[in-house]
């Protein structure tokens, strides 16, 4: 059976934590950073968890990202 392919766009945007949760980096920080408050930029730098409903789709897109059985 051939290997499953990783969706490269999803691999750049999402990742699994050690416990198997999916996280992504937040948007709204690409440009016009000088106008935004420093506190807001600190909050946008944090990773935010994904909803559980999207986990199933992304598990197929990232077959080797999650630990086996999660």
* Domain residue spans of the chain: 8-61
Q: Contact, 15 vs 22, CB < 8 A?
A: yes
What is d(CA 49, CA 32) in angstroms, rounded to the nearest whole number?
25
Q: Token digits for 10?
A: 């999803």
pLDDT at 53: 85
Q: What is the C-alpha radius of gyration for the chain, rounded to an integer number of angstroms? A: 15
Residue 68: the pLDDT is 59
Task: Give the pLDDT of residue 69.
Answer: 54
The pTM is what? 0.75
User: Would you give per-residue pLDDT tens digits along the chain (70 residues)?
Assistant: 899 999 999 999 999 988 888 999 998 988 999 999 999 999 999 999 998 888 888 888 998 887 755 5
Distance CA 33, CA 59 (A): 33
DSSP 42-66: HHHTSEEEPPHHHHHHHHHH-TTTS
For domain 8-61, the CATH architecture is Irregular (4.10)
């Amino acid at each position: 059976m051939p290997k499953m392919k990783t969706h490269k766009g999803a691999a750049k945007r999402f990742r699994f934590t050690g416990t198997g949760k999916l996280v992504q980096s937040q948007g709204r920080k690409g440009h016009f950073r000088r106008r935004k408050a420093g506190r807001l930029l600190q909050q946008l730098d944090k990773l935010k968890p994904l909803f559980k409903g999207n986990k199933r789709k992304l598990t197929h897109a990232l077959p080797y990202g999650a630990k086996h059985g999660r």
